[in-house]
Structure 1
């Protein structure tokens, strides 16, 4: 019961004491990982960038600092209404300026036009999606030809989380996500071990082939 409750809040934080604790944990745990995802995505000043499962907004803030050109734009989507409202309030200045757009939605059904995004990044996210292929196809749909998708994760921690039933099924396995990306039209898919400071993590790369 406890593992199931924690898993639900990790997947979709809600306004509660547990949800608040999850946010504090995400901020402390994912800060360096989010910054690494933005760096590895190679965000350019005039890119249109999409973060999937933006959580407390750390990645959005990191990317926004690099989008200094007049066309630079960051889009964030999250399945949690609580996270969506919280970040919309916290990053109000970016939203009002037009630099940031937020959507409360499922990754598999994003309210974005085809071929609009240059770069996509996400952190510790894909293994909560009910259907990896639906998510991968939707990501591919919204990306411009040749666009880069990067996802980062602490694989050994994900393995531990899966062992404790915080994550159900085998979606957490990188090879399953990479297979879904391949089936959806992505190419040059690879996973690499890298580090940020002292802590190793994994990065999955894919190019939207169209």
Structure 2
């Protein structure tokens, strides 16, 4: 059964009182995907990390518990999510190890070659042209930097049946890998796993 469109739109950009509920649900439901993405990044003390579509901020909190991040950032365009993210990461924000930005991820507010590592989890469905967003991630990564993209694909029939195509667009793994290569990423590898009924993919790539 397909989700109502107004609920699906909250998944894209949580707003209002309903957005706060969606934020709590998303933090719980997507935790396994986020944890696996973090482990794939092989974080080290002193790394600068950017979370593209950081949402609730739980992933950056977990990253900060694993290592001592430096000069890191979360980007989202939902003020509801950013309010929650800042509160969850108040200590890292207070001592300036972490900042949060309300921005379009197709135009990131950072200079070239800024971050060591990047990740983005369950965001690509909402990008009309993924090339723009992936090119921005490539731009802000340092040479030798790593990027992990987590997503559900056209291989997941449950996703296609559940989420309205007016809000979510699912792509094939090969399409996403081709797009990453097209903006300059190399050493592109995808692994897959199931969490209940969800088929999830993690594509790792690097900036030469």
Q: TM-score, normalised by structure 1?
A: 0.86
2:13 aligned partner? 12
Please list every run of 5 or more consecutive structure 2 residues that lacks an aligned counterpart in the other structure.
none
**Partner in structure 1 of residue 192 of structure 2:** 193
1:168-209 CA distance string (max 9 Å, x none): 474433332222211101111121124789x87421011113
Give the Cα–Cα distance (whole angstroms) in 2 for the partners of residues 167 and 58 of structure 1: 27
The residue aligned with 2:104 is: 106
Partner of 1:203: 202
Superposition pairs for residues 16-165 of structure 1, below 5 Å? Answer: 16-17=17-18, 19-68=19-68, 72-155=70-153, 159-165=157-163
Q: What is the Cα-based RMSD across aligned positions, in Å? A: 2.6
Residue 68 of structure 1 deviates from its aligned partner by: 2.2
**Aligned partner of residue 49 in structure 2, secondary structure:** strand
- CA apart distance, 1:91: 2.1
Contact 1:67 1:73 in 2 (8 A): no
Separation of aligned partners in 2, 1:171 and 1:48 = 30
For 1:167 and 1:176, locate their aligned partners in 2 and report how far apart those are by CA, in whole Å. 17
Q: TM-score, normalised by structure 2?
A: 0.87
How many positions carry a matched residue from both structures?
A: 206
- Tell me the distance in 1 between the aligned counterparts of 2:133 and 2:122: 15
- Matching residue of 2:182: 183
Aligned partners of 1:134 and 1:101: how far apart in 2?
A: 23
